[in-house]
């Protein structure tokens, strides 16, 4: 049985004041049994979040990390070792905003994935196609290419140590959610691809969906057989809404 993960990606939102208010709201939520919970705040607020969430079922993750674990002359970067030291258990790698706005290639994403694993962080590998790629019928190829670099380096076992997040770029922050069937198709395709390499491990890999997940569409998405939770952007900035999404994962 795969344990669902519901993770919040706060992106570049928040101030000390609003983060404290959100944390207060989160600690008051009723969290479901059997669902793993994580939030990825801006790095500046990780310490604050780790402190406030101690004793709660929520863990904290980074939104990205440097390509190396070792300290170095990399102005502005944060290493996965530092994230681990700050109390993180997870780190997102290859989010589409990092890929498109910061030019992160598959090779860079793979280095980040490797550096995270080397530090004992679980990497959440984000994959997904743009609207143009979907329209051109390239969804399967794009997602397969994004997975392949990781598979070449670490095999299916590497992905089983982390998490795959399928996030169609056209659904991120747009209010356009993939239908449960559209998402399930891609999740099943990903698992089938992994199963060709190692069927037993493929069944253990968690594949979460991201892209305009809200309290009112979460349960239908999470009910799909290959959707093992969600990566939530905008809706994770509201404690009630994030709590409701997590509880939906607990019901399926
Ligand atoms: P969204 O973002 O839920 O606001 O669409 C998802 C993500 O980028 O992880």
229 is in an annotated binding site: no
- In sequence order, which residues have a C-beta less than 8 Å from that of residue 135 and are 6 or more positions away? none
Structure tokens at 34: 């059997």
pLDDT digits 0-9 by tens, 120-156:
999 999 999 999 999 999 999 999 999 999 999 999 9
Question: Distance (Å, rounded) from C-alpha 86 to C-alpha 123?
Answer: 16
Res. 173: pLDDT tops 90? no
Structure tokens at 128: 């997904």
pLDDT digits 0-9 by tens, 51-106:
999 999 999 999 999 999 999 999 999 999 999 999 999 999 999 999 999 999 99
- In sequence order, which residues have a C-beta less than 8 Å from that of residue 235 and are 6 or more positions away? 213, 214, 215, 241, 242, 245
Q: What does the pLDDT read at residue 44?
A: 98
Q: Ligand 1 atom closest to Cα of 97?
A: 8
Is any ligand 1 atom within 6 A of the Cβ of residue 80?
no
Query: What's the burial of 50, exposed, middle or buried (CB within 10 Å: 0-12/13-18/19+)?
Result: middle
- In sequence order, which residues have a C-beta less than 8 Å from that of residue 186 and are 6 or more positions away? 139, 140, 143, 166, 168, 178
Reference 192, options 140, 239, 240, 153; nearest CA is 140
Q: What does the pLDDT read at residue 1?
A: 81
Q: How many CB atoms lie within 10 A of CB 24?
A: 11
Which of these is catalytic: 104, 129, 167, 241?
167
pLDDT digits 0-9 by tens, 216-233:
999 999 999 999 999 999
Reference 179, options 113, 114, 230, 224; nearest CA is 224
Q: How many CB atoms lie within 10 A of CB 17?
A: 8
pLDDT digits 0-9 by tens, 9-64:
999 999 999 999 999 999 999 999 999 999 999 999 999 999 999 999 999 999 99
Question: Does CATH number 3.40.50.620 belong to domain 5-251?
Answer: no
Of the chain, the percentage scoring pLDDT greater than 70 comes to 100
Question: Distance (Å, rounded) from C-alpha 178 to C-alpha 51?
Answer: 35
Q: What does the pLDDT read at residue 226?
A: 98
- In sequence order, which residues have a C-beta less than 8 Å from that of residue 199 and are 6 or more positions away? none
Q: What is the pTM of this model?
A: 0.97
Question: Distance (Å, rounded) from C-alpha 89 to C-alpha 80?
Answer: 10
40, 167, 209, 221, best to mutate for ligand 1 pocket (most atoms within 8 Å of CB) = 167
Rounded to the nearest 5°, which phi and psi values hold at 89?
-110, -20
Q: Ligand 1 atom closest to Cα of 232?
A: 3
- pLDDT averaged over the chain? 97
Res. 176: pLDDT tops 90? no
């Amino acid at each position: 049985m795969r344990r669902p993960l519901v993770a919040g990606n706060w992106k570049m939102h928040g101030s000390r004041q609003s983060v404290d208010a959100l944390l207060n709201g989160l600690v008051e939520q009723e969290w479901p049994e059997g669902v793993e919970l994580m939030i990825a705040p801006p790095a500046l607020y990780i310490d604050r979040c780790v402190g406030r969430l101690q004793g709660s079922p929520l863990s904290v993750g980074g939104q990205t990390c440097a390509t190396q674990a070792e300290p170095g002359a990399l102005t502005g970067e944060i290493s996965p070792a530092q994230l681990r030291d700050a109390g993180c258990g997870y780190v997102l790698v290859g989010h589409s905003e990092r890929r498109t706005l910061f030019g992160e290639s598959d090779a860079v994403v793979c280095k980040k994935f490797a550096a995270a694993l080397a530090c004992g962080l679980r990497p959440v590998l984000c994959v997904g196609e743009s609207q143009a790629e979907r329209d051109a019928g390239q969804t399967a190829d794009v997602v397969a290419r994004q997975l392949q670099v990781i598979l070449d380096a670490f095999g299916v076992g590497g992905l089983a140590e982390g998490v795959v997040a399928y996030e169609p770029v056209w659904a991120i922050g747009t209010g356009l959610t993939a239908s449960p069937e559209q998402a399930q198709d891609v999740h099943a395709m990903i698992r089938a691809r992994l199963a060709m390499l190692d069927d037993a491990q493929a069944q253990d890999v968690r594949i979460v969906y991201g892209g305009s997940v809200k309290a009112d569409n979460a349960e239908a998405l999470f009910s799909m057989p290959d959707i093992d939770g969600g990566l939530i952007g905008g809706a994770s900035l509201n404690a009630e809404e994030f709590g409701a999404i997590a509880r939906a994962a607990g019901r399926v």
